[in-house]
Structure 1
Amino acid sequence: MVQWNVGSQGQRPWWKSAVSPLLVAALATGVATTAMAAEPPAHYRVVGYVMDAKPLPRISAGKLDVINYAFARLDAKGNVVLPSPTVDQTLASFTGLRKISPNLKIIVSIGGWGADHFSDTALTEASRQRMADSAAALVEKYDVDGIDLDWEYPTLPGAGIDHRPEDKRNFSLLLETLRARLDKLGAAHAGRHYLLSIAAADGEFVQGIELERVSRSLDWINLMTYDFHNSLTPTTGHHAGLHLSKLAPADDRAGDKAVEQFLAAGVPANKLNLGAAFYGRAFTGVNPQDNGLYQKYDKYLGDPSWRELVADYIDKHGYVRHWDEQAQAPYLWNAATKTFVSYEDPQSLRAKAAFIKAKGLGGVMYWEHSLDRNEELLDVLDQSLNKH
C-alpha cells in the first residue's frame, strides 16, 4: 500500500452485474439515466489487507469477503517469494477461516511501498512468464484464491525502485500473462476461478498504467484513496477525504475524484473498491488558522492507528474533533501543541459506504486490519454496506 513516509468460474454471484428488466425497458424507451447505468450488486465486497504478525489479529471471517495477505515480494529473477518460513502458518490460519465462512477468499498481495524488481520482471515475455508460473505455484501450494499486485508505481521511482517508460505497456502484458496462467491453473482444478487484482493510486500515479486495458485482466482494483496528505506534502489536509474541502486547492486529491478518473478511463464501476484508512496522519508546528486544516507545518509526527486515536487522541489531551461537512471527513486540532491529525472514523466510513452504493461501485478496501480496535471500523463497513 502507499507508504509515503521516508524511513504503507467459481466467483461469487455478486462479483458480476446483472441487467435488470427495468433497465432493459428504460433503454428500449430511451429514458435510461446515468444513475441506472448498472444494477447495484446484491452484496458489496469488503477487502481487508492483513499484514503478517505474531500473533495475528483477530479476524471475524463473516465480516469481510477477501483477506489480502501483505506482503509477498519479487526476487531479482522475478520469482514470488514469501518473507519468512512462518508464512506457512499464517496462510494456513487464513485459509482455515473458510471453515467458518466458506465464501471467504484469501489472496496473496505482492509488493508494497518500496518493493522492487517489478520493472525488470515485466520487461520481457520470458520474465513475465517466469513470474506468472511462480505465482501460480504459490497459489496452488497454499490453496489461496488468487494474486494481488501492489506495484508502486509503474514508470515512477517510488521509494528508489527500478522503473522505465516501458512499464506502462509492460504492466498490461504482465497482468495478461498472469490472468492466462491463473486461468490455466483453474482449468486443472475443475474450472476454479482464481482472482487477480491490483492496488492503484489516483492522479499522477496512474499515468503509468493503461487503465482500461488493465481492467480487462482484473476482477477488481483496490483504490488507495488515502495518504493524500502525508510527510511528503507541503501542507496538512484530509489524508482520506471523500470530497474536496472548501479550503482545499482545486488540484488536491479526494476519493470521489479518484473514482471519476478511473471511470472516465473506462474501468467498470463494479470493479472499483474505494479505499479506507484505519490510521491517521499527524503533523505538528502547524499554522493555527482554520484549526490547522490545509496549513503549513514544521514536522510530520507519524501515523497513529485507530486504536491509538481512540485511546489517546480523540477529544483527549487537548485534541478536539472537528467535522468537515463538505469533505465528509473528521480531523483533530490541538491548539496548545499546534498539532493536526487527519483520520477516518465511523461517520466518514458511513459516508464512503453511501457513496459506494450511489456510484454502483464493487465495494471497499481497507488498510490495515490490525490497526482497528475490536473491529469497530470493520463493523461500520460491514453493517453500512451489507446489513439491512
Structure 2
Amino acid sequence: KLSIINYAFVDVKGNRAFLTNEATDSINFRNLNELKKINPGLRIVISIGGWSWSENFSDAVLTDTARLAFAKSAAGIVAEYNLDGVDIDWEYPGIPGEDGNVYRREDKENFALMFRDCRKYLDSLKKITNKKYLLTTAVGGFPQFVDNADMKKSQEYLDYINLMTYDYHPKDIVSHHTNLFPSADFEKENSGDKAVKTFAKAGVPAHKLVVGMAFYGRSWFLDSTKTPVLKRKAVKQVRGGGYTFLKDSVVGKNGFAEYWDDKASAPYLYNDSTRQFITYDNERSVKEKCNYVKKYKLGGVMFWEYNSDPKLYLLTTAHENLDHQ
C-alpha cells in the first residue's frame, strides 16, 4: 500500500547527517529493504531533522564547504545502506522551531542551495548504481514557511514537497489540527487547501505537492460547556492518541460524540461531561483529501506516523481512494 517510507529521523551533527544509533539503524535499514520482496516498487528514504533535530541545519548549510560536506554525508548513508534517497525535514529555516534552534536570514537562500548540493551527490551516486534517487522535503504547511524558504528554486531539485498539513492548532483556542479547508467564519485559518495554494503560488508545480494526513489526534479540555465548541478557550492540552485507539476505544464511547465540520471537511470528538475535545483525521476526511489530490492533480498524500494506526484503517482508506497508484 506504500510507495515511499521515510525513515525518521537522522540527526545533524557537525554539519553532517548522523546516525545516532548506527547498530539499530543498520538493522532497521536491512529489514525495511526486505519489504521490497513484497513490494518491489517501495522506496526507502532517510528523513533528516524533524522537530527535535533541526537545531543544527542553519549552521550545517551556512557555507559552501559545510553544505557540501552535509550533502556528501547524506548521500553516503544512502549509498552505504542501499537506500533510495534523502528527505529533509528542517523545522524551520529562517523562523523559530523548537526552543534553542539556530535560525538566520541566510537560511532562505541556503535552503535551496542545500537541495542543489544534495541533488549533486545523489546524481553522482546514480552514475555508479544506475538508479534514480529521490530528494524530497517535509515543509511547514503555512505561509510563514514559504516566506522564509526559496521554494521556487528548491523545487527544481526536488521530486516531492511533503506538506505537513497538520498541527494547525492555536495555542489556547480550540480548532482543527488537520483540516482540509478553513472552518466557517474563520477563512484566514491554516488548512490543507491554503497550504497547497500558497506553495503553488510560490512556484511549486502541482504534481510535486503532497498533502499531509494526521494518523493521530490532538486534544484539549475546554474552559466551559458553551456552544459552539470550535474556537472556545482551551485550558489544558492532553494526549489525543493514535487513530486505531480513537476508532476502537473512544468514538461513541464514554460520552464522546463524533461531529463533522462540513466547511472544514474535518471531524472532531467532544465529551460534553468532561469538556474534552479531540481533533483528528478519520476515514471520511482522508477520503476527502484523496479526492482533493485527484481533483487538482497533486503528487499524492503522506502521513505522520505509521505506528499511530496499526490496524491500517486510514492507510487502507487512502490506498483505496487513490486508485492504488
For 1:316 and 1:233, the matched residues in 2 are separated by: 28
CA contact (8 A) 1:286 1:292 kept: no
2:157 corresponds in structure 1 to 217
When residues 314 and 286 of structure 1 are mapped into structure 2, their CA distance, relative to the original with a 3 A threshold, is: farther
Using the TM superposition, give the Cα deviation of residue 267 of structure 1 relative to its aligned residue in structure 2, in angstroms.
0.4
Correspondence 1:241 to 2:206: no
- The partner residue of 1:266 within 199, 203, 208 is 203
SS of the residue corresponding to residue 188 of structure 1 reads helix
1:252 corresponds in structure 2 to 189
1:321 corresponds in structure 2 to 258
For 1:101 and 1:323, the matched residues in 2 are separated by: 36
Using the TM superposition, give the Cα deviation of residue 137 of structure 1 relative to its aligned residue in structure 2, in angstroms.
1.1
Paired AA for residue 353 in structure 1: C
For 1:187 and 1:365, the matched residues in 2 are separated by: 29
When residues 350 and 286 of structure 1 are mapped into structure 2, their CA distance, relative to the original with a 3 A threshold, is: farther
1:188-236, Cα deviation, whole Å (9 max, x unpaired) = 112x11110000012212221011111111000000001001xx52211
**Which stretches in structure 2 are left out of the alignment for 5+ residues?**
none
Correspondence 1:332 to 2:272: no
SS of the residue corresponding to residue 162 of structure 2 reads strand
Taking structure 1 as the reference length, what is the TM-score of the superposition? 0.81
For 1:290 and 1:215, the matched residues in 2 are separated by: 44
Structure showing the higher strand proportion among its residues: 2
- The partner residue of 2:44 within 94, 99, 106 is 106
1:181 corresponds in structure 2 to 121
Correspondence 1:362 to 2:299: yes
For 1:251 and 1:331, the matched residues in 2 are separated by: 20
Equivalenced residues, count: 321
CA contact (8 A) 1:291 1:335 kept: no
For 2:213 and 2:177, the matched residues in 1 are separated by: 10
When residues 291 and 321 of structure 1 are mapped into structure 2, their CA distance, relative to the original with a 3 A threshold, is: farther
SS of the residue corresponding to residue 198 of structure 1 reads strand
Q: Which one scores higher on RCO, CA 8 angstroms, separation ≥ 6?
A: 1
For 1:289 and 1:223, the matched residues in 2 are separated by: 34
For 1:328 and 1:286, the matched residues in 2 are separated by: 25
For 2:223 and 2:149, the matched residues in 1 are separated by: 36
For 2:43 and 2:324, the matched residues in 1 are separated by: 20
Taking structure 2 as the reference length, what is the TM-score of the superposition? 0.96
- The partner residue of 1:346 within 283, 289, 299 is 283
Paired AA for residue 175 in structure 2: G
For 1:265 and 1:290, the matched residues in 2 are separated by: 38
Using the TM superposition, give the Cα deviation of residue 119 of structure 1 relative to its aligned residue in structure 2, in angstroms.
0.3
Paired AA for residue 117 in structure 1: N
Using the TM superposition, give the Cα deviation of residue 182 of structure 1 relative to its aligned residue in structure 2, in angstroms.
0.6
Correspondence 1:164 to 2:107: no
Paired AA for residue 250 in structure 1: E
SS of the residue corresponding to residue 88 of structure 1 reads helix
Correspondence 1:284 to 2:221: yes
**Which stretches in structure 1 are left out of the alignment for 5+ residues?**
1-62
Paired AA for residue 266 in structure 1: G
CA contact (8 A) 2:162 2:302 kept: yes
1:139-186, Cα deviation, whole Å (9 max, x unpaired) = 011000000000000011211211111010011111101111110111
For 2:228 and 2:247, the matched residues in 1 are separated by: 20
1:214-269, Cα deviation, whole Å (9 max, x unpaired) = 1111000000001001xx5221111000011114x232101101100011111000
Correspondence 1:134 to 2:73: yes
Correspondence 1:385 to 2:325: no
CA contact (8 A) 1:136 1:182 kept: yes
1:23 corresponds in structure 2 to none
1:145 corresponds in structure 2 to 84
For 2:224 and 2:127, the matched residues in 1 are separated by: 60
Using the TM superposition, give the Cα deviation of residue 311 of structure 1 relative to its aligned residue in structure 2, in angstroms.
3.0
Paired AA for residue 270 in structure 1: H
Report the identity percentage.
39
SS of the residue corresponding to residue 386 of structure 1 reads coil
For 1:222 and 1:102, the matched residues in 2 are separated by: 23
1:118-140, Cα deviation, whole Å (9 max, x unpaired) = 00011000001101111111001
CA contact (8 A) 1:291 1:333 kept: no
Using the TM superposition, give the Cα deviation of residue 387 of structure 1 relative to its aligned residue in structure 2, in angstroms.
4.1
1:92 corresponds in structure 2 to 30
SS of the residue corresponding to residue 233 of structure 1 reads coil
1:30-85, Cα deviation, whole Å (9 max, x unpaired) = xxxxxxxxxxxxxxxxxxxxxxxxxxxxxxxxx0100000000111x111111212
2:60 corresponds in structure 1 to 121
For 2:299 and 2:224, the matched residues in 1 are separated by: 39
For 2:207 and 2:76, the matched residues in 1 are separated by: 29
